[in-house]
Structure 1
Amino acid sequence: MLTRIVSGLRYLGKGMRLMVGMPEYSTYVAHMHHAHPDRPVMSYEEFFRERQEARYGGNGKVTRCC
């Protein structure tokens, strides 16, 4: 029962991250290894920063809400 609850919470967390525009880092890494093996994989911090800039703008300031 506990494993089903934990699994459900992970699934919910993944869905919530996708709703705010933050895909899973592990999915990104798997994609890069499979589709682009010649390219370097960003660190988690680089990945997070790149996704934030793609969603909110690149100058470090939030310029829009949606």
Structure 2
Amino acid sequence: MFEDLAKVGRYLGQAARLMVGVPDYDNYVQHMRLTHPDQEAMTYEEFFRERQEARYGGGNGPCC
């Protein structure tokens, strides 16, 4: 029962982060370990910066 509740909590937390555009670093690291074990994962700061640039165009928007 407690395990199911914890799983639901994690799912809802991840869904909420995705809805507001916050990237999920833990899922990225897990993906890198499983899919690309020969490559080093980015640090959280590198990951966050890369996601921001991918989402907002790296500051090349119409106003900046």
Q: Which runs of 5+ in 2 are unaligned?
A: none
C-alpha RMSD over aligned residues: 2.7
Partners of 1:51 and 1:31 in 2: CA distance: 15
Structure-2 residue corresponding to 1:49: 49
Partners of 1:9 and 1:26 in 2: CA distance: 15
Partners of 1:45 and 1:9 in 2: CA distance: 25
Q: How many residues align?
A: 61
Q: Identity of counterpart residues, as a percentage?
A: 59
User: C-alpha displacement at 1:24, in angstroms?
Assistant: 1.3
1:19 matches 2:19: yes
Q: Is the 8 A contact 2:23 2:48 kept in 1?
A: no
Q: Which runs of 5+ in 1 are unaligned?
A: none
Partners of 2:58 and 2:43 in 1: CA distance: 18
Partners of 1:11 and 1:31 in 2: CA distance: 17
Which residues of 2 match residues 29-44 of structure 1 at below 5 A? 29-44=29-44
Instruction: Please give the TM-score of this superposition, normalised by the length of structure 1.
Output: 0.66
Instruction: Please give the TM-score of this superposition, normalised by the length of structure 2.
Output: 0.68
Higher relative contact order (CA 8 A, sep 6+): 1
